[in-house]
Each structure stands twice: as C-alpha cells, then as structure tokens.
Amino acid sequence: MKFTEFGFKAEILEGLDAMRFDEATPVQQQTIPIIMEGNDLIACAQTGTGKTAAYLLPVLNELIDATGENTTTLVLVPTRELAIQIDQQLQGFSYFLPVTSVAVYGGNDAGLWEQQKKALISGANVVVATPGRLIQHLTMDYFKFLNLKHLILDEADRMLDMGFHDDIMQIVKTLPTARQTLLFSATMPPKIRHLSQKLLNNPQEISISISKPAEGILQAAYLVYDTQKIPLIKSLIQGKDLTSVVIFSSTKLKVKEIHKSLRQAGMPAEAIHSDLEQAEREAVMLNFRNRKTQILVATDIIARGIDVDGIDLVINYDVPGDAEDYVHRVGRTARAKSTGVALTFINDKEQEKFALIEKLIETTVYKAPLPADFDPGPEYNPDLSRKRKPFRQGGGGKKQFSRKKGNGRASH
C-alpha cells in the first residue's frame, strides 16, 4: 500500500516524497486508518517496523488545520535518545508544514532547560518528552496542556520497566480527558494491559511481528569463554569491510570495560552509557552516524534509541536478559528492507538463557565455529548447563575463584 492511498493532505505527501517514503509498512497500513478515524489504539509492534511514522503522520495531517492552537500532541518516550530521534523524524515529515515541536529530556545543560521552557510556554504543537523531565517542567506551573488532543505512549513496556508508571499517571492527571490515546509497545505483558485499561477508551488493537527479528538479519552465535571475547571481536572486525558496528552489553560497567579493551587493542571504538553527559552522548552518536566512529559500544537502555541506517554488524557481547532485549539489539541492523548480521557470544553460563531466547523467537540460531587459531570454546549443551557447578575452566586458563567471608560460598 502506498502513502498516497491514505488520504493525506498535499503538504504531508510533499514531505513524504522529499524523504523518499513510498510504500507503507504493515504496521503503518494497519494503524494509520484507525488513528485517522479518531480511535484509541493499542499496538504491539517491535522497533524497526515504522511505528513512529505510523502515529506521527496522522497527527501532522490533522495539525495542518489546527496550527493556531497550542500544544495538541504529547509523545511520551523512555529515553532521551528516542525523544531526539522522534523529534528529528517529525521535523522531516513536517518540513512543508507550519508545525513546531520540542524534545523535552534531561541533562545538566542550563541552556537546554531554558530552550525547553520557552517552547513549552509558547505552546509548541508537538511535545516529545521523557516522563521525568516533563514532570520537572510541569511542577513549575508555567504551562498547561489545555488544548491537548493526542497522547501517545511509545515503547510503553520499556517505560514501565524503567519505573515510569507513577510519572505517567501523574502527567495524565494534567491532561484533558477528551483526547485520543495511542499506546505502542513491543510486548504486551499484563502490566501493559492494566495501563491501557486506565488510559484508553474502547481501543482498537493490532499486533505486528512480536518477538521475532527481521527477516533480513543473518543471525549466528559463537560459543566462547569470556577471555576469548575481545580477541574474537578483533578477528571479526579488523581487515573487514565494515563501516558501522554496534556492540551491546547489559551493564554500563561492562560497556566501559569493553570500550577500554578495544581501545587498548587499537580498535576505533566509542562507548555510550548513562554516565556520560548529554552533550557527550550526542557527540558520540553524531560521530557514529557520520561514520567517523566505526565501533559503538552501548547498553541495552539505548538499544531502541539507536536509529542509524546501514549498520553492518551487531554483536551481543553477552546474552541479553530476555527475547525482547535480543530482538531490539539485533534490530539495529537490517533496518526496514536492508540486510545485516547479528552475532551473539555465548559463554558456558549463558546457554540455558540463549536456548530460551531461541524458543521464544522460534528460531534455532546457527552456532558458528571459532576461527582456526582459537582454542576450543565450550560445547553447546543448555540442558547440561543447568546442572553445572559454578566453577568452569575458561579458555585454557586455570580455574579462578574467591571465597566470600562469612557465608562459606565461593564465587567468581
């Protein structure tokens, strides 16, 4: 289905043509008519399916006839990276429209706060915000959402995972009850159902490609000991024609360690995590988007905020905590209709966890052999890994353990 078939006004179609948007994705085909009819909506759609355009385009189409009004649309998102990304995409779609927008997110930059404050007071048509920072502005009582018509919660499951439930409810209390509410989530656990019952009025529902990586992603895994991971990254990347590589790990501490090890190995890597100042994070992402940085090491918390075309390779340095995290990590490559490669490193303690991911995504991921000059890694036997004792020999080295005082138990 082409975008010209939705009944968008000419100004919207001009923006789409300038951005070379022609064919609508499945989530756009199903949600845009529902939104344009004014219905509330709960949509289950993973990242990379085009859901941002699915809700922005109908809203912008309506704003063409309401440009004199103050803020009519509020988009709540879990992270500053996603807020910036959505605001940038909105600016592209509204290039030919008299529409104003602002991204409201945290940071220690006083100038950023004043810029956000000014836009909120002036009544920017669309506000894209993280809940915590928006509440900080709301408590100052220099603006109100009196004319709000659309509330959109993007990546609602992630917002709840990050503890934003109470913030969301506090914000909703300040909004008009007569509004259209759209909830987008990659998963649909009971807590999302419960939230939707509080916020939405007789919503329509759609579900698109839940918990399955895009078809264009070539997935594989390596069975490795932890001591083999950095040498394997070096073997996989050096001398290869790879422009952009993202390496994911579950904690910011591990991200820092990986970044340090890669730099010591002479590899052009940068890291992005929550300890960086906002200006530093934006500089890292800008360098990565502009191909000045080949390797980006990142935490799961920004997995959904990395919207960069042409990522050649995604490496899961460790096995993600669940299938959804896996899907969002590997979804950074093979955006839209492109192709890409996603590799996961599985150590001897994570095999059961990876087997569960394979079960949930209904895919058996190919276990690739290590390079010929590597010592053998652990065998893949998830059933056996459940029964293994905590001390395992890794990479040909000696067993290493310490004994915690007072409890008589040993640990790594």
Domain ranges of the chain: 3-208, 217-380
For β-strands 101-104 and 126-129, DSSP reports them as: parallel
Separation CA 312–CA 228 (nearest Å):
22
Of the chain, the percentage scoring pLDDT greater than 70 comes to 86
Same CATH fold, 217-380 and 3-208?
yes
For the chain, give the number of residues.
412
Instruction: Note the pLDDT of residue 131.
Output: 96
Question: Tens digit of pLDDT for each residue in 238-249?
Answer: 888 888 899 999
Separation CA 397–CA 199 (nearest Å):
56
For residue 171, how many C-alpha atoms fall within 13 Å in the half-sphere facing its CB?
A: 24
Question: Tens digit of pLDDT for each residue in 37-66?
Answer: 999 999 987 666 788 899 999 999 999 887
Region of poorest pLDDT, from 139-148, 185-194, 324-333: 324-333
> In this structure, are residues 357 and 287 in contact, taking their beta carbons and an 8 Å threshold?
no
Average pLDDT, the chain: 84
- For the chain, the farthest-separated pair of C-alpha atoms sits apart, in whole angstroms, at 73
> In this structure, are residues 168 and 134 in contact, taking their beta carbons and an 8 Å threshold?
no
Rounded mean pLDDT, 175-192: 91
CA angle 129, 135, 141 (to 5 degrees): 115
Q: What architecture is domain 217-380? A: 3-Layer(aba) Sandwich (3.40)
Is the pLDDT at 123 greater than 50? The verdict is: yes
Is the pLDDT at 409 greater than 80? The verdict is: no
Is the pLDDT at 112 greater than 60? The verdict is: yes
Rounded mean pLDDT, 78-106: 88
Instruction: Note the pLDDT of residue 48.
Output: 62
CA angle 171, 174, 175 (to 5 degrees): 95
User: Which of the given ranges, 30-44, 95-109, 204-218, has the highest pLDDT on average?
Assistant: 30-44
CATH number for region 3-208:
3.40.50.300
Q: Give the predicted TM-score (pTM) of the model.
A: 0.61
Q: What share of the chain is helix, strand, coil (3-state, %, to 5)?
A: 40, 20, 45
Region of poorest pLDDT, from 150-159, 185-194, 207-216, 301-310: 301-310
For β-strands 402-403 and 410-411, DSSP reports them as: antiparallel
CA angle 315, 317, 323 (to 5 degrees): 80
Which two tokens mark 232? 């394997």
Separation CA 202–CA 275 (nearest Å):
41
Instruction: Note the pLDDT of residue 175.
Output: 96
